[in-house]
């Protein structure tokens, strides 16, 4: 448990992760509180396709709705679905991958086959079909995202679990008579925390991108206000042809910023977990000067002489 | 550095060699009507699903008569005249003389006889359901065809009149006309020569021996493939398209402003309305007053302004619009007004029906159950979705829980037909006069039980009086009698509110007078303007000329 | 050598099995959707077809009804004969014809973009890993990540709008100009190339970062290994070290990724094709879904599944040749 807490503390000290966390935090807070402050985004408040002004910070869209309100409201649904689907993807992936990696033999064969088949199914077309079939709504999007996204992470997590399962500490636990459940939950998974966190973030990023893509195609629930549907309406109202970039750009930039923040956090996790990067960091913390990083251990360079 | 140089050079090379500038010769009209990714060479006018390239049905092949919805006149085309006999049991059509097929062979009544009997032999071709009321079709001689009806059905004339005629000498050799793609069509129409056909653009040249001498004045029609509305609009804005039937939002700002002298549009109303259907088998929608109350809560002005960009107008109390205005009941005869925005009256009506507002502010019945409406709309139809969103907001404002439910059309239409919906926005039946619309809204003989697929009357409302009116209408050819029946239908419609009209149903016509002139317009309404309305587009194809 | 053959054979068997399961799933999923093709076709005309037309359409597409199991065996039977049936939305064009038009364009656009992106990204990744400039790292990587974080269609539409519509530098749609004739003539070839620049650029732009990062990460872990250090100590030229030793080994995991991506190009370019009106298979797929065109859907799925399996098999063979460790 200590390890887990330590991990998160060091994460917040990492520069890249810090930036990422700040950005993400801003968006999350906005998405939770803004809808309470700003009025309903679907009210027809102004002349359609007005450029940004002091009255409407982001201007109005093709139906005379406030783009600023729409962007803020859209954050809530989009982020919620993305995080939830990311969480579920990792849950399913960790469970199936863990079971396969730990128990091996027959069970592994079956689950591996399942993983490989799912990996072979083309993601985007499958998403389009599922979304077209199921009734529009957040539940559908989540089902589609989890259905198409779990296999990749399951495979990654399975490999890692397999590696750990063959190591001494697991064998020792088995000898001591610990139940498989305990071994997986208490011994193996906590050690895989960076990988799991990284998978969660990766799945969330995928969740955002896929969700927005589907809604852009009109396959989501169009009567909801989300980032994806904002872009859908912007396109339908021929935003670019009318030169109304403000109906289009704020949402796009928001999506990019959130994805970026998650990616930065992922970089941070990587720097924490990758042993090589760890040692580099420790050294650069303790010593100053230039390092030649292309050796087994970073070597301090003197007077620009490169070995 | 070298890399940048080569890149620059390559770029200039491509740009210089770019052959994207508009390079079309005079007399060639570029049209945007169908939206597809890649053209399929199919000109079969009888094909099910209307998969043939436009204008196969009316452009390459032609019908017997065309009803001009602007003038309400029946214009003889491949048929010269017609006569009812034997108390409307037999229809004799005289075919036009001196018409040739584009391969030179003469057109005659035998082609008409062949076409209709082909539809009998292959029911998949009978998309208009002719053989539901025909008993036989025979050519009495080379210029007269006799249609014997199995039951008297006078409105059947309009349908028969619109049938595209195919040449017997070609089609009698076709094994499977259902799957036949007719790659090199032989027709009587103004344009019959396939000049070029690639998957991104195809060209239709004029018929050198067309029966209307001196016409068409246009030399060639060309059709680039536009994948989406946005792409087609882009081309229109750049001046690359002369005539189109697309829906363009904010058209004044996007299109007209780019070239105000030449870029024009005209959206004449087709005559009917778009409706909000409520499932009349479900309480409280089974109550006439409740339906009227819902109707009075809807702000149609806002819908036409925001959802339809002011291209149309709010529906009339009779749901009749545009070209059918002369069928409308006179205003003294209209004694109710539930098509309008009267939210207070709506609230009064609901209260008088015994509903009470609960603690959340929503109307609930005596058991405490809240009233809920779910408005089903196809997920691709943005303008209707916007309308639906306004409606649900209107309803929420007066205390009815409402939401828009978007579905892909497969699921949506399935629910509509089986009656598994509470609300939906959809079109109404149409025809040469308003009668079919009312018949579709109120005839009880068409009602199918919930769960069974119904081709019409999805909201399942019927009046037996309407059934008798329909029987009379089907057998009469007397115009004043027809008008009387239409008036009566309107009275019944106003009284019983089977469905809620929202706004007049417009037709879409966008054009540019840069290279062509003599398009019909509001100033010169000799015909309607939309390429989507077949077979009336033949008027435009034969009248428009290059500048 | 025998071991290699057995290994390839085992992989091949596995792909056959996975392929079969995928085919079955591909068959089931479209059919579980509500509605039937006739009704959908009818609905598309928004009321411009008479209600009687529905009956006529149902009559035509009667083959779409029938018990599921029968349909399945019918489907398999036709599959092995190479008969993919007739498309519903492009009735009566055979599915093979409908697909073939789109297939080549998707392969062309997505294929070349993928290859360029992979090669470019990997080379940059190698350089980045070798010259571990702290400043370059902390600037380039977040910037590229930021650019890659924008939704793909967003970037595509902006570029199309700005470079195509406003500046008029590039064509706005299609794979080639409507004023040239397809064939082996210079005009056509130039037209094809100029029409592919913008869509290919957007595809490459968005995926570049990914290849670059993965290559860089692979390189970093390789560069830390003993044998690289040894080679350096012996005095190998830096360039040779970088390319012959480090890069070759770092390439291996990337090739697996490349193989997977190659298999999926037939399905991945959907948004590109929509925005640039490029006549490829991606948009065809979307249309087929919307029209519930089962035969077309199955045909497209088949091409995707087949290409994924094939490219995976090819990648396995290549890896076998490149990496002696597998042979053991």
What 8-state DSSP symbol labels residue C160?
I
Instruction: Give me chain C's average pLDDT, please.
Output: 77
Any chains having at least 3 CB pairs less than 8 A from chain A are B, C
Which helix (H) or strand (E) is B376 found in, with range?
strand B372-378
Question: Per the CB < 8 Å rule, is B379 touching A136?
Answer: yes
pLDDT band of A107, cuts 50, 70, 90: confident
Question: Per the CB < 8 Å rule, is A125 touching C19?
Answer: no
Instruction: Return the closest-CA partner of residue C181 out of B202, B288, B544, B337.
Output: B202
Question: Per the CB < 8 Å rule, is A231 touching C154?
Answer: yes
B51 touches chain C (CB under 8 A): yes
Lowest mean per-residue pLDDT among B87-101, B358-372, B486-500, C67-81 = C67-81
Q: What is the complex's ipTM, to 2 decimals?
A: 0.72
Q: Bridge-partner residues for B517, per DSSP?
A: B545
Distance from CA of C183 to the nearest CA of A (A): 32
Question: Per the CB < 8 Å rule, is C289 touching A126?
Answer: no
Tokens, residue A282: 């420790």
Distances from the Cα of C220 to the Cα of A280, A294, A297, C138, angstroms:
12, 8, 12, 15
Q: Select from C102, C165, C172 the Cβ nearest to the Cβ of B38.
A: C102
Q: What's the CATH number of domain A2-306, 2.40.110.10, 1.10.3720.10, 3.30.70.20, 1.20.210.10?
A: 1.10.3720.10
Query: How far from the centroid of its chain's Cα atoms is residue C183's Cα?
Result: 25
Q: Which residues of C touch A134 (CB under 8 A)?
A: none
Distances from the Cα of B348 to the Cα of A48, B279, B288, B295, B360, angstroms:
34, 22, 15, 13, 19
Q: Select from B128, B231, B234 the Cβ nearest to the Cβ of C52.
A: B128
Tokens, residue A237: 């109202």
Instruction: Return the closest-CA partner of residue C273 out of C202, C181, C194, C177.
Output: C202
- pLDDT recorded at residue C217: 76
B379 touches chain A (CB under 8 A): yes
CB A112 within 8 A of CB A100: yes
pLDDT band of B3, cuts 50, 70, 90: low
Q: Which residues of A touch B250 (CB under 8 A)?
A: 48-49, 62, 237-238, 242
- pLDDT recorded at residue B534: 83
Q: What is the mean pLDDT of residues B110-115?
A: 95
Domain ranges of chain A: 2-306
Question: Per the CB < 8 Å rule, is B406 touching A223?
Answer: yes
pLDDT band of B17, cuts 50, 70, 90: very low
Q: Is B405 helix (H, G, I), strand (E, B) or coil?
A: strand
Among all chains, which residue has been given the structure tokens 């519509």? C165
Distance from CA of A182 to the nearest CA of C (A): 33
Which residues in chain C (173-202) have CB-CB distances under 8 A to chain A? none
Q: Select from A135, A222, A235 the Cβ nearest to the Cβ of B385.
A: A222
Q: Is the peptide bond before B55 cis (omega within 30 degrees of 0)?
A: yes
State the pairing for strand pair B90-95/B144-149: antiparallel
Most confident of A95-104, B244-253, B493-502, C81-90: B493-502
Instruction: Return the closest-CA partner of residue B316 out of B457, B496, B130, B505.
Output: B505
C63 touches chain B (CB under 8 A): no
Tokens, residue A265: 């956090």
State the Cα–Cα distance between residues B175 and A278, nearest whole angstrom.
Answer: 76
pLDDT of B216 > 70? The answer is yes
pLDDT tens string C133-168 = 667 777 777 777 777 788 888 888 888 888 877 787
CB B506 within 8 A of CB B271: no
CB B358 within 8 A of CB B399: no
Q: Select from B38, B408, B453 the Cβ nearest to the Cβ of C290.
A: B408
Q: Is B65 helix (H, G, I), strand (E, B) or coil?
A: strand
CB A151 within 8 A of CB A115: yes
Distances from the Cα of B512 to the Cα of A294, B191, B218, B257, B262, angstroms:
67, 21, 15, 12, 5
- pLDDT recorded at residue B341: 94
Distance from CA of C145 to the nearest CA of A (A): 6
Distances from the Cα of B437 to the Cα of B272, B318, B338, B441, C126, angstroms:
7, 11, 19, 6, 70
Instruction: Return the closest-CA partner of residue A112 out of A180, A166, A161, A167.
Output: A161
CB A238 within 8 A of CB B230: yes
What 8-state DSSP symbol labels residue A291?
E
Question: What is the CB neighbour count within 10 angstroms for residue B326?
Answer: 9
pLDDT tens string C12-44 = 888 888 778 877 877 776 666 666 666 666 665
Q: Which residues of C touch B128 (CB under 8 A)?
A: 50, 52-53
Q: Which residues of B touch A235 (CB under 8 A)?
A: 230
pLDDT band of C45, cuts 50, 70, 90: low
CB pairs under 8 A between B and C: 170
Distances from the Cα of B47 to the Cα of A109, A211, B33, B536, C93, angstroms:
51, 39, 18, 20, 12
Which helix (H) or strand (E) is B273 found in, with range?
strand B269-278
Instruction: Return the closest-CA partner of residue B309 out of B240, B254, B374.
Output: B254
Backbone torsions φ then ψ of A57, nearest 5 degrees: -60, -35
Segments in chain A forming alpha helices (H):
2-13, 15-37, 67-103, 105-120, 123-133, 138-165, 168-176, 180-182, 189-191, 193-216, 227-236, 249-273, 275-286
- pLDDT recorded at residue B115: 95
Lowest mean per-residue pLDDT among B115-124, B169-178, B456-465, C126-135 = C126-135
pLDDT of C220 > 80? The answer is no
- pLDDT recorded at residue C63: 46
**Beta carbons within 8 Å of A65's beta carbon, 6+ residues apart:** A41, A42, A43, A44, A45
Which residues in chain B (391-410) have CB-CB distances under 8 A to chain C? 408-410
B299 touches chain A (CB under 8 A): no
pLDDT tens string B374-419 = 999 887 677 888 899 899 989 999 999 998 887 766 678 878 888 9
CB C157 within 8 A of CB A240: yes
Q: ∠ CA B435-B439-B445 to the nearest 5 degrees?
A: 150
State the Cα–Cα distance between residues B358 and C224, nearest whole angstrom.
Answer: 72
Tokens, residue C282: 């991606």
Query: Bigger pLDDT: A190 or B13?
Result: A190
Among all chains, which residue has been given the structure tokens 């009559």? C59
Question: Per the CB < 8 Å rule, is B388 touching A223?
Answer: yes
DSSP sequence for B96-153: PSS-B-TTSPBP-HHHHHHHHHHHHHSGGG-TT-GGGTEEEEEEEETTEEEEEESS--
Distances from the Cα of A202 to the Cα of A11, A162, B101, angstroms:
17, 21, 65
**Which chain A residue is nearest to residue B256, measuring alpha carbons?**
A242
Segments in B354-456 forming alpha helices (H):
382-398, 409-418, 435-442
**Beta carbons within 8 Å of A296's beta carbon, 6+ residues apart:** C224, C225, C226, C229
Backbone torsions φ then ψ of B193, nearest 5 degrees: -95, 120
Tokens, residue C153: 């269609």
Backbone torsions φ then ψ of A111, nearest 5 degrees: -65, -40
CB A159 within 8 A of CB A244: no
Q: Is A177 helix (H, G, I), strand (E, B) or coil?
A: coil
- pLDDT recorded at residue B292: 94
Q: How many helices (H) and strands (E) does chain C have?
A: 16, 0
pLDDT tens string C90-136 = 777 788 888 887 888 888 888 889 999 999 988 888 877 777 666 77
Instruction: Give me chain B's average pLDDT, please.
Output: 88
State the Cα–Cα distance between residues C47 and B20, nearest whole angstrom.
Answer: 37
pLDDT band of B137, cuts 50, 70, 90: very high
């Amino acid at each position: 448990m200590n390890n887990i807490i330590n991990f998160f503390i060091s994460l917040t000290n990492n520069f890249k992760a810090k930036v990422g966390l700040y950005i993400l935090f801003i968006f999350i807070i906005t998405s939770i509180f803004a809808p309470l402050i700003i009025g309903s985004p679907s009210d027809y408040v102004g002349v359609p396709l007005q450029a940004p002004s002091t009255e409407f910070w982001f201007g109005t869209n093709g139906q005379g709705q406030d783009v600023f309100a729409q962007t803020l409201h859209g954050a809530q649904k989009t982020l919620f679905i993305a995080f939830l689907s990311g969480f579920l993807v990792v849950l399913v992936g960790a469970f199936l991958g863990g079971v396969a990696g730990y128990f091996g033999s027959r069970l592994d064969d079956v689950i591996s086959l399942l993983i490989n088949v799912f990996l072979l199914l083309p993601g985007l077309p499958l998403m389009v079909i599922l979304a077209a079939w199921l009734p529009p709504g957040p539940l559908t999007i989540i089902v589609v995202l989890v259905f198409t996204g779990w296999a990749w992470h399951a495979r990654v997590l399975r490999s890692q679990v397999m590696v750990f399962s063959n190591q001494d500490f697991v064998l020792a636990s088995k000898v001591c008579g610990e139940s498989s459940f305990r071994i997986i939950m208490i011994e193996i998974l906590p050690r895989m925390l960076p990988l799991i966190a990284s998978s969660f973030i990766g799945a969330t990023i995928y969740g955002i991108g896929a969700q927005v893509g589907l809604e852009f195609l009109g396959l989501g629930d169009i009567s909801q206000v989300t980032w994806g549907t904002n872009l859908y309406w912007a396109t339908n109202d021929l935003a670019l042809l009318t030169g109304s970039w403000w109906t289009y750009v704020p949402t796009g930039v928001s999506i990019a910023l959130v994805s970026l923040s998650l990616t930065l956090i992922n970089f941070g996790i990587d720097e924490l977990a990758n042993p090589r990067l760890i040692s580099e960091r420790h050294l650069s913390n303790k010593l100053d000067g230039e390092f030649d990083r292309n050796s087994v251990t970073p070597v301090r360079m003197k007077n620009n002489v490169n070995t | 550095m070298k890399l940048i140089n080569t890149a620059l050079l390559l770029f200039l090379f491509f740009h210089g060699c770019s052959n994207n500038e508009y390079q079309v010769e005079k007399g060639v009209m570029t049209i945007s009507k169908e939206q597809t990714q890649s053209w399929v060479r199919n000109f079969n006018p009888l094909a099910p699903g209307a998969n043939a390239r436009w204008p196969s049905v009316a452009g390459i092949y032609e019908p017997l008569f065309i009803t001009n919805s602007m003038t309400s006149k029946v214009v003889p085309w491949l048929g010269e005249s017609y006569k009812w006999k034997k108390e409307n049991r037999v229809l004799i059509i005289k075919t036009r003389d001196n018409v040739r097929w584009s391969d030179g062979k003469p057109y005659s009544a035998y082609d008409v006889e062949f076409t209709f009997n082909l539809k009998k032999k292959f029911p998949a071709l009978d998309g208009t359901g002719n053989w539901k009321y025909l008993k036989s079709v025979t050519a009495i001689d080379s210029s007269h065809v006799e249609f014997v009806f199995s039951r008297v059905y006078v409105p059947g004339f309009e349908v028969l009149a619109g049938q595209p005629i195919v040449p017997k000498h070609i089609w009698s050799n076709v094994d499977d006309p259902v799957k036949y793609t007719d790659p090199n069509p032989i027709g009587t129409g103004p344009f019959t020569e396939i000049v070029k056909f690639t998957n991104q653009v195809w060209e239709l040249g004029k018929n050198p021996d067309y029966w209307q001498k001196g016409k068409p004045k246009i030399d060639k029609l060309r059709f680039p493939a536009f994948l989406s509305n946005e792409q087609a609009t882009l081309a229109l804005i750049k001046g690359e398209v002369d005539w189109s039937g697309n829906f363009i939002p904010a058209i004044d700002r996007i299109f007209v402003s780019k070239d105000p002298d030449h870029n024009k549009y005209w959206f004449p109303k087709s005559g009917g309305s778009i409706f909000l259907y409520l499932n009349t088998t479900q309480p409280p929608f089974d109550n006439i007053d409740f339906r009227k109350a819902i109707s009075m809560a809807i702000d149609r002005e806002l819908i036409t302004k925001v959802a339809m960009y002011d291209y149309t107008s709010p529906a009339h109390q009779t749901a009749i619009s545009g070209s059918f205005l002369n069928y409308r009941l006179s205003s003294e005869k209209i004694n109710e007004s539930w098509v309008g925005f009267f939210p207070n009256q709506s609230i009064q009506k609901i209260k008088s029906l015994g509903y009470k507002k609960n603690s959340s502010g929503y109307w609930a019945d005596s058991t405490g159950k809240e009233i809920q409406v779910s408005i089903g709309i196809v997920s691709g139809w943005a303008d209707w979705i916007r309308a639906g969103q306004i409606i649900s907001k209107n309803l929420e404002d007066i205390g009815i829980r409402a939401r828009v439910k978007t579905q892909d059309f497969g699921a949506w239409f399935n629910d509509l037909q089986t009656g598994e919906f509470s609300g939906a926005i959809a079109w109404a039946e149409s025809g040469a006069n308003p009668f079919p619309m009312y018949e579709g809204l109120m005839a009880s003989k068409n009602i199918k039980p919930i769960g069974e697929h119904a081709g019409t009357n999805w909201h399942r409302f019927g009046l037996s009086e309407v059934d008798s009116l329909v029987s009379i209408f089907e057998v009469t050819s007397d115009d004043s009698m027809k008008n009387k029946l239409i008036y009566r239908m309107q009275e019944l419609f106003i009284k019983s509110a089977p469905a809620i009209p929202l706004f007049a149903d417009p037709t879409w016509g966008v054009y540019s007078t840069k290279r062509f002139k003599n398009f019909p317009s509001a100033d010169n309404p000799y015909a309607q303007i939309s390429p989507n309305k077949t077979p009336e587009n033949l008027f435009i194809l034969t009248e428009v000329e290059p500048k | 050598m025998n071991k290699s053959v057995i290994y390839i054979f085992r992989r091949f068997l596995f792909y056959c099995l996975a392929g079969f399961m995928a085919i079955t799933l591909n068959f089931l999923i479209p059919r579980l959707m509500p509605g039937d093709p006739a009704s959908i076709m009818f609905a598309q005309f928004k009321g411009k077809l008479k209600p009687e037309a529905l009956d006529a359409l149902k009559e035509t597409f009667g083959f779409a009804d029938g018990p599921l199991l029968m349909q399945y065996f019918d489907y398999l039977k036709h599959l092995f004969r190479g008969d993919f049936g007739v498309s519903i939305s492009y009735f009566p064009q055979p599915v093979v014809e409908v697909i073939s038009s789109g297939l080549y364009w998707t392969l062309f656009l997505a294929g070349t973009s993928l290859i360029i992106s992979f090669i470019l990204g990997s080379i940059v990744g190698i350089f980045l890993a070798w010259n571990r400039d702290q400043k370059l790292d902390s600037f380039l990587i977040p910037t590229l990540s930021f650019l890659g974080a924008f939704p793909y269609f967003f970037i595509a539409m902006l570029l199309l709008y700005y470079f195509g519509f406003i500046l008029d530098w590039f064509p706005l749609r299609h794979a080639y100009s409507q004023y040239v004739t397809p064939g082996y003539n210079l005009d056509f070839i130039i037209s094809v190339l100029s029409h592919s620049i913008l869509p290919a650029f957007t595809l490459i732009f968005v995926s570049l970062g990914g290849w670059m990062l993965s290559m860089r990460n692979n390189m970093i872990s390789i560069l830390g290994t003993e044998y690289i250090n040894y080679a350096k100590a012996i005095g190998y030229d830096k360039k040779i070290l970088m390319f012959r030793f480090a890069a070759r080994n770092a390439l291996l995991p990337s090739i697996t990724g490349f193989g997977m991506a190659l298999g999926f190009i037939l399905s991945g370019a959907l948004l590109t094709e929509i925005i640039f009106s490029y006549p490829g298979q991606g948009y065809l797929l979307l249309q087929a879904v919307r029209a519930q065109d089962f035969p077309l859907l199955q045909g497209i799925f088949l091409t995707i599944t087949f290409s994924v399996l094939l490219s995976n098999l090819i990648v396995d063979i290549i890896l076998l040749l490149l990496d002696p460790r597998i042979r053991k």
